[in-house]
Amino acid sequence: MDQNFDIQAYMTRGVEKVVTDALKATVKNPKESAFMLRFAAASKSASKKRAEAEKMGEHIPPFLIASITSKCNLHCAGCYSRCNHATVDAEPVAQLTGEEWLRIFSEADDLGVSFILLAGGEPMLRRDIIEAAGQRQNILFPIFTNGTFIDDRYLELFDRCRNLIPIMSIEGNREVTDARRGKGVYDRLISGMDAFQRRGLIFGSSVTVTTENLKEVSSDSFIESLASRGCKAVIFVEFVPVTEESTELAPGDPEREYLAGEIDRLRRDYPEMVFISFPGDEKSSGGCLAAGRGFFHINSHGGAEPCPFSPYSDINIRDKGLKEAMHSRLFTVLRSGDLLSDDHNGGCVLYEKREQVEAILSGC
């Protein structure tokens, strides 16, 4: 990995870009615009904290991903989390409590973390944790949800706490979405979007990008269908293959280049929306941003993992703080070696090279 690459400067520019786009997206919504102006100031202050820590030799990523539950009500085709047994049907035991998550969110705020992506399982099954997140107004919490648990209580919470932004998963039209997520899910998503629009609440959508749907989900017709319902953010998540049979669905370099070009176009054509791809262009970021370079993942039981697609951990947040987790042996070896910048066929480099990650974990 290029040791001269300034990851802190790169990530700060990324945060500033997201915040600037969010301000543009909310300019016509007084409540959201007022919150985003306050968040922009908090984000600038957080960037200064991270820069000061960097001078002292302490790298703090601006993003975290928190899977706050391992339970989910859906069985989506090709779900990486179920394949890794990180998502289950039964009520999980020994998961982090709402109080423990609030402690984590508070520590993240103190360190200068600006964004915590709430995931699962289905995160909206844990209302207590989402309510705790609402207390940390300096942090923006995108909530990656299947959209089937939106009710009046949640709508009221999102109205009070504008730092909570639901990101609803959709795969395209009704036929494609229901084929992957289950019959009737598309209609429930649309119903939820309409409820947000009636209340003037901000929401976004996440789209799993494959070699098959790439052109459709980046098309004007699809984006306009979301924009007309009030969607203000679209996050394109590259498909990560979990079986040999699904490998061909993972975007490779040509597809990534196409998507990057389309995102540039969409940003010009739809300035009132935010467009993000994950993991995005790893070449411009000096390699994969996992393992604390740009973010890391905390699972529902407190394990600190490189990313959701690489479910390996040698330290638990329940016992250690976020800063100590950053110095775990696994994270340290991954950041200091070349694995994060290795070539790979598509999706996630750490998932594709999981045998090497397992070897690091075992101390070989």
Rounded mean pLDDT of the chain? 89
Q: Tell me, what CATH number does 293's domain have?
A: 3.20.20.70
Residue-wise pLDDT for 182-210, tens only, equals 999 999 999 999 999 999 999 999 999 98
- Give domain status of residue 140, yes or no: yes
- Residue 134: CB atoms within 10 Å: 17
Contact 95, 300 (CB under 8 A): yes
Tokens of 363: 């101390």
User: Which stretch, 90-104, 127-141, 245-259, has highest mean pLDDT?
Assistant: 127-141
Q: How many domains, the chain?
A: 1
Distances (CA, A) of 32 to 29, 47, 132, 202: 5, 22, 20, 7
Beta bridge partners of 89: none
State the pLDDT confidence band at 283, using cuts at 50, 70 and 90.
Answer: low
Which of these, 6, 75, 23, lies nearest to 202 by C-alpha position? 23
Whole-number percent of the chain with pLDDT over 70: 93
The secondary structure of 266-314 as a DSSP string is HHHH-TTSEEEEES--TTTTTS--TTTTS--EE-TTSBEESBTTB---S
Contact 64, 291 (CB under 8 A): no
Beta bridge partners of 207: 236
- Give domain status of residue 219, yes or no: yes
* pLDDT higher at 83 or 238: 238
State the pLDDT confidence band at 282, using cuts at 50, 70 and 90.
Answer: low
- Give domain status of residue 213, yes or no: yes
Helices (H) and strands (E) in the chain, counts: 15, 9
State the pLDDT confidence band at 343, using cuts at 50, 70 and 90.
Answer: low
Helix (H), strand (E), coil (C) string for 70-91 = CECCCCCCCCHHHHCCCCECCC
Q: What is the pLDDT of residue 38?
A: 95
- Give domain status of residue 228, yes or no: yes
- Residue 195: CB atoms within 10 Å: 16
State the pLDDT confidence band at 349, using cuts at 50, 70 and 90.
Answer: confident
- Give domain status of residue 104, yes or no: yes
Q: What is the pLDDT of residue 2?
A: 53
Contact 196, 240 (CB under 8 A): no
Determine the length of the chain: 364
Give the range of the structural domain holding residue 347, as residue numbers without chain letter.
7-362
* pLDDT higher at 16 or 245: 16
Evaluated on CA atoms 53, 56, 58, 59, the torsion sign reads positive
- Give domain status of residue 214, yes or no: yes
Residue-wise pLDDT for 14-48, tens only, equals 888 888 888 888 888 888 999 999 999 999 999 99
